[in-house]
C-alpha cells in the first residue's frame, strides 16, 4: 500500500467501529516525549498548509526524525515534544488476487467494501501537527529538527515559533 494513494481524503471518513470490524495497530509509540514537567521559553510548531490525509506511519517517522535530531543537541531533558493529532480514520483496501486463475478465487469488485489496513488523520489547512518546546539557546536546533521532519509529511508544511 503506497501512501500517495491515500493523500486526498475523499468521501466520508470511517472512524466508526460499527461499520468496520477490526482495527489496525497504531504505529505511534509516544505522543509526548522529552521533559514534560518543565516550562520552556519558546514553542516551535509544525503546521500543514493544505487539507490532506496523513497516515500514522508518516506521523511516527516525522516524530522520530524530529526527536532524534533535537536530542543530539539538547539531551533528553532539554526539550518537550508533543504530537497534536491522533489517527482515527480507518483506511480500507479491497485486496484482489492478480495471478493466473484469479477469476475463480477472487470476488473482484463485488461487495468491495474492503478491510481496514491503516489509520490516518484528516488534517485541516493550518492545523498544528507537532510542537516542540525549547529554551532560547536551542531554538535554531528545534527549527532545524522540524525542517528535517517536514520531508516525511505529505503536502507543504510550515514552521512557526512564538514565545510562551
pLDDT tens digits, one per residue of 63-93: 999 999 999 999 889 999 999 999 988 888 8
Residues 6+ apart with CB under 8 A from 64: none
Short-list 8, 24, 31, CA closest to 119: 24
Query: Which pLDDT does position 120 carry in this prediction?
Result: 92
As a whole number, mean pLDDT of residues 52-68 equals 94
The helix/strand count (H/E) of the chain reads as 3, 8
Query: Which pLDDT does position 2 carry in this prediction?
Result: 61
Residue 102 sits at the vertex; the CA angle it makes with 98 and 106, to the nearest 5 degrees, is 95
pTM of this structure: 0.85
Instruction: Let me know: does 152 contact 28? Beta carbons within 8 Å.
Output: no
pLDDT at 61 over 80: yes
User: What digits encode the pLDDT tens for the residues 105-121?
Assistant: 566 777 777 788 889 99
Query: Which pLDDT does position 32 carry in this prediction?
Result: 94
Residues 6+ apart with CB under 8 A from 32: 80, 81, 82, 83
Instruction: Let me know: does 6 contact 120? Beta carbons within 8 Å.
Output: yes
Residues 6+ apart with CB under 8 A from 108: 96
* Domains of the chain as residue ranges with CATH: 40-85+122-164 (3.90.1170.10)
Amino acid at each position: 500500500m503506497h501512501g500517495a494513494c491515500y493523500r486526498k481524503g475523499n468521501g466520508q471518513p470511517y472512524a466508526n467501529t460499527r461499520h468496520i470490524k477490526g482495527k489496525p495497530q497504531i504505529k505511534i509509540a509516544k505522543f509526548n516525549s522529552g521533559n514534560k514537567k518543565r516550562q520552556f521559553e519558546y514553542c516551535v510548531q509544525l503546521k500543514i498548509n493544505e487539507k490532506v490525509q496523513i497516515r500514522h506511519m508518516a506521523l511516527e517517522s516525522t516524530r522520530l526524525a524530529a526527536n532524534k535530531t533535537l536530542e543530539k543537541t539538547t539531551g533528553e531533558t532539554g526539550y518537550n515534544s508533543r504530537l497534536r493529532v491522533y489517527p482515527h480514520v480507518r483506511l480500507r483496501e479491497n485486496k484482489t488476487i492478480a495471478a493466473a486463475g484469479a477469476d475463480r478465487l477472487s470476488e473482484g469488485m463485488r461487495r468491495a467494501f474492503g478491510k481496514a489496513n491503516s489509520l490516518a488523520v484528516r488534517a485541516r489547512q493550518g492545523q498544528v501537527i507537532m510542537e516542540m518546546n525549547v529554551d532560547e539557546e536551542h531554538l535554531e536546533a528545534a527549527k532545524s529538527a522540524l525542517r528535517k521532519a517536514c520531508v516525511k509529511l505529505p503536502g507543504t508544511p510550515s514552521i512557526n515559533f512564538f514565545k510562551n
